[in-house]
Amino acid sequence: AWARIRGRLREEVGEVEYRTWLRQMTLAGIDGDEAVVVLPTRFLRDWVRSHYGDRLSALWQQESPAVRRVDVRLGQQRAVPAGEDGDEAAAPDREASARRTGLAEPLATGRGAARVTDARGDWSAPLDPRFTFDTFVVGKPNEFAHACARRVAEKPALPGFNPLFLYGGVGLGKTHLMHAVAWAIRAGEPSRNVAYMSAEKFMYRFIAALRSQSTMEFKESLRSVDVLMVDDLQFLIGKDNTQEEFFHTFNALVDAGKQIVVSADKSPSDLNGLEDRLRTRLGCGMVADIHATTYELRLSILGAKAAAAGVEVPKSVQEYLAHKITSNIRELEGALNRLIAHANLFGRTITLDGVQEVLQDILRAHDRRVTIEEIQRKVAEHYNIRLTDMSSARRARAVARPRQVAMYLAKQLTSRSLPEIGRRFGNRDHTTVMHAVSRISELMQADSAFAEDVELLRRMLET
Ligand code: ADP
Ligand code: MG
């Protein structure tokens, strides 16, 4: 069965990919309902696991349904069976090539003289048709990056904008903006050769070219582009020789008046582990930061995406989500998509109650642990008193009442004990905290306006 599975995979992925990544994969055995396959290096194991893991499981299931999972592990390869790949000698320069490319792990061996036929040819990864300027919602956190991207799209290689370096946290729109630039340039002038790829792909191609001794072709094909975009450059950290290759490509293109667009999760100066000269050059053009989202931006993105999907999403639901899912736009979008799919599937309209049910798991992950400091800060702000009064000895009602509210919320929203809470409020006794908690509860029952006020504070702190 294993031989057939390998054969199928080989057919599916093609010879080049198979030889690069899968040739050294062997079956270690079957353990209950789990097939264990091993690869000799961590790098290969991770690669196979993430790129072929699902496919392997599916093929196994077809071949023998008793196997339900495939576990890809690090392990020693058994002797290569005669007849299968037996004609190949290990490439002598395996270690050397690993060193050159900056990989910590030796690479899979390829056939020494084999040519990687696709070292030339279409460089670019496909562009996502949804990632255009039309669908990009502009707000305070991304307006500068957006303006720079627009400018580059209108007039590539403009001095001062080359390279364009976009950076920001995950899921904030870097890839979206890069694709938007690529689409716009291609639309304006279809003959322009725009190449977009991840840094990971850049490395993979570089390694493949090294192994097949086609680095000249690799260099030529790269240097024939008009616009080169490399996404997630932080991937090259620690990959010294791929960095070096990128550096030379970069210089050659900029010298030839070609545009470069790069993204990363940090600014050039914070990308520790990138060579200094590369960081310097990356910072020479325009560096634009995409900031964390604001409530307003999240709300407009939700509005735009709901409208695009043609689905009615009540304002209250949009506001709730914008409050609750603050991490990044990808998660926000994921939550909205789930709601829309759910509504379509069950033919129901989207309601606030429904949201909590459908998104339970996502929302729970976003329940933040509130700290006592945050509570003190928010409450002090709300009642317009000084933060220091949270722990001062002042007993004036205007100060004492907010302090009690903060203690009450600390008890409700954190897992701190009464003595611990007391300590954080100017070394007060735990009985003081206990008293505050019951006093505020009483007041809330007696005074609905006050209760609403405290509830509002609680909600602000929880989201
Ligand atoms: P990054 O590359 O920074 O990790 P992406 O560009 O992949 O983030 O964005 C994640 C998701 O959020 C994508 O689906 C993208 O379309 C969407 N997105 C990000 N920013 C915006 C925006 N300003 N307007 C609309 N959608 C956005
Ligand atoms: Mg990205």
pLDDT, position 77? 60
Gap from CA of 264 to ligand 2 centroid (Å):
8
Nearest CA to ligand 1 atom 14: 330
**CB distance 167 to ligand 1 below 6 Å:** no
Task: Provide the token pair at 324.
Answer: 């609750």
Gap from CA of 200 to ligand 1 centroid (Å):
19
Residue 80 has pLDDT above 50, yes or no: no
Nearest CA to ligand 1 atom 20: 173
pLDDT, position 202? 94
**CB distance 306 to ligand 1 below 6 Å:** no
pLDDT, position 24? 84
In the chain, the domains with their CATH numbers are 2-82 (3.30.300.180), 140-289 (3.40.50.300), 295-364 (1.10.8.60), 372-462 (1.10.1750.10)
Q: What are phi and psi of 84, to 5 degrees?
A: -105, 110
Sign of CA dihedral 171, 266, 245, 47: negative
Ligand minimally distant from the alpha carbon of residue 197: 2
Tens digits of per-residue pLDDT, 35-62? Answer: 999 988 777 788 888 888 888 988 888 8
Tens digits of per-residue pLDDT, 210-269? Answer: 888 888 999 998 989 999 999 999 999 999 999 999 999 999 999 999 999 999 999 999
Ligand minimally distant from the alpha carbon of residue 166: 1
CB crowding 29-65: b at 16 or more within 10 Å, else e? ebeeeebbbbbbbebbbebbbeebeebbbebbeeeee
**CB distance 301 to ligand 1 below 6 Å:** yes
Residue 14 has pLDDT above 80, yes or no: no
**Helix segments in 348-396, DSSP class H:** 352-358, 360-365, 372-383
Q: Number of helices (H) and strands (E) in the chain: give both, helices first.
A: 20, 8
Ligand 1 atom with minimal separation from the 131 CA: 16
**CB distance 170 to ligand 1 below 6 Å:** yes
Tens digits of per-residue pLDDT, 305-342? Answer: 999 988 899 988 898 898 888 889 999 999 999 898 88
pLDDT, position 117? 30
pLDDT, position 257? 94
Nearest CA to ligand 1 atom 21: 173
Preceding peptide of 163 cis, ω within 30°: yes
Average pLDDT across the chain, whole number: 85
Residue 34 has pLDDT above 80, yes or no: yes
Gap from CA of 66 to ligand 1 centroid (Å):
41
Sign of CA dihedral 425, 427, 429, 432: negative
Q: What are phi and psi of 263, to 5 degrees?
A: -125, 155
Gap from CA of 119 to ligand 1 centroid (Å):
30
Gap from CA of 125 to ligand 2 centroid (Å):
13
Of all residues in the chain, the percent with pLDDT exceeding 90 is 52
Tens digits of per-residue pLDDT, 159-201? Answer: 899 999 999 999 999 999 999 999 999 999 999 999 999 999 9
Tens digits of per-residue pLDDT, 289-300? Answer: 999 999 899 999
